[in-house]
């Protein structure tokens, strides 16, 4: 690998962080997908799924939180540009035992990508699940949070490879 210094683009001539100049980048349709998992006691997953049936819905709250978080990315991540998102969607899958996996898809038509938005939406969705259930399971674990796929920018199509 042969990466040159200026590729850590977030630094200026005084070696301090800056918000990179994207004035001349092209407006294109961009998409990013991120995922992450929360592990819990089997009892906790059971409770989440039962309560859902009864309509006291942990996942509904978590997902509203996740979508709202995608819109707050530039407030939380210092060098992120404000990007008006054109769409955000979150889905859940559980392993029927002790894990819930969250997948967040974010879109924009803008000059820079939305991978941080997707990852943040994922983190906040997972943490809200933790918050809603912590009274019965304080030892839940968040893991495997990563970008799944990204497309539409100059850097091309990225697919996570593991």
Task: Report, as residue numbers or ranges, the catalytic residues.
Answer: 131
Pairwise CA distance, residues 154 & 129, whole Å: 35
* 81 labelled binding-site residue: yes
Q: How far is the CB of 141 from its own copies (least distance, A)?
A: 5
Q: How far is the CB of 96 from its own copies (least distance, A)?
A: 16
Counting every residue, how long is the chain? Answer: 162
Q: How far is the CB of 31 from its own copies (least distance, A)?
A: 9
Contact 140, 125 (CB under 8 A): no
In the complex with its own copies, the residue whose CB is nearer, 98 or 145, is: 145
* 132 labelled binding-site residue: no
Q: What phi and psi, each to the nearest 5 degrees, are found at residue 96? A: 65, 10
* 79 labelled binding-site residue: yes
Pairwise CA distance, residues 1 & 5, whole Å: 13
In the complex with its own copies, the residue whose CB is nearer, 98 or 131, is: 131
Contact 107, 162 (CB under 8 A): no
- Which residues belong to the annotated binding site? 79-81, 116-117
């Amino acid at each position: 690998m042969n990466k040159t210094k200026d590729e850590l683009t977030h630094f200026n001539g005084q070696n301090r962080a800056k918000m990179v100049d994207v004035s001349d980048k092209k407006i294109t349709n961009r998409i990013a997908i991120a995922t992450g998992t929360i592990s819990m006691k089997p009892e906790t997953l059971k409770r989440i799924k039962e309560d859902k049936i009864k309509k006291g819905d942990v996942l509904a709250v978590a997902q509203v939180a996740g979508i709202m978080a995608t819109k707050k990315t530039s407030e939380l991540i210092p060098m992120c540009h404000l990007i008006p998102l054109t769409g955000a969607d979150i889905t859940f899958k559980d392993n029927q035992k002790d894990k819930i996996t969250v997948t967040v898809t974010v879109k924009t038509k803008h000059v820079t990508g939305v991978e941080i938005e997707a990852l943040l939406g994922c983190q906040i969705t997972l943490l809200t699940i933790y918050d809603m259930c912590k009274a019965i399971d304080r030892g839940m674990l968040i893991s495997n949070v990563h970008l799944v796929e990204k497309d539409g920018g100059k850097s091309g199509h990225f697919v996570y490879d593991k």
